[in-house]
Amino acid sequence: MLSKNIEAALNKQIRIEAESSQTYLSMACWAEISGLEGIAQFMFAQSDEERQHMLKLIKYVNERGGHAQITDLKAPKTTYETFKGMFEELYKHEIFVSDSINELVHITFSEKDYATHNFLQWYVAEQIEEEATAKTILDKINLIGDDRAGLYLFDRDLQQIAITKPVV
């Protein structure tokens, strides 16, 4: 059985994961209308992945005797100056999500809810991967600079990642 404090913290994380999905979806839309099909496909896949993270939390809360809450979401940004700026925002967002997961883990540890603490370890590992992916993408973007041919190849590479990335 979840404590009310942990249930509230998990519900907050459900909202964050839902907002993450919406953020990626908005980025996908912007990339698609900007002619960046590979980036768009990558972002659509990331949006789906974030939704799966949310659903996993919902199931956990409900199975542990809590009540998962679906709340209003903050609307994501819909336009970006550059694709580089978009990825910089994505990286900052992933750091924010990691901080949120870490705070949640801290709460479970302080309340001695070891089952939820154990459950959240998957999210901790996932966030390490998400941050690393975003940082690697930013590093590649910085290597490309203003090279249009490099952007074309980068866009194609991200399309391949989107096609081959397994769904969580």
DSSP string computed for 146-164? T-HHHHHHHHHHHHHHHHH
Q: What is the distance between the alpha carbons of residues 62 and 52, in angstroms, rounded to a whole number?
A: 15
Q: What is the distance between the alpha carbons of residues 91 and 132, in angstroms, rounded to a whole number?
A: 9
Query: pLDDT digit of tens for each residue in the chain (168 aa)?
Result: 999 999 999 999 999 999 999 999 999 999 999 999 999 999 999 999 999 999 999 999 999 999 999 999 999 999 999 999 999 999 999 999 999 999 999 999 999 999 999 999 999 999 999 999 999 999 999 999 888 888 888 988 888 877 666 555
To which H or E segment does residue 19 belong?
helix 4-33
Q: What is the pTM of this model?
A: 0.92
Question: Quick one: pLDDT at residue 47?
Answer: 97
- For residue 5, the SS3 value is helix
Q: Any binding-site annotation on 160? A: no
Q: What is the distance between the alpha carbons of residues 8 and 83, in angstroms, rounded to a whole number?
A: 35
Domain 4-164: assigned CATH number:
1.20.1260.10
Domains of the chain, residue spans: 4-164
Q: Tokens in use for 70? A: 């679906």
What are the counts of helices (DSSP H) followed by strands (DSSP E) for the chain?
A: 5, 0
Query: Cβ atoms within 10 A of the Cβ of 120, count?
Result: 22
Q: Any binding-site annotation on 88? A: no
Question: Quick one: pLDDT at residue 158?
Answer: 87
Q: Any binding-site annotation on 126? A: no
Question: Quick one: pLDDT at residue 168?
Answer: 53
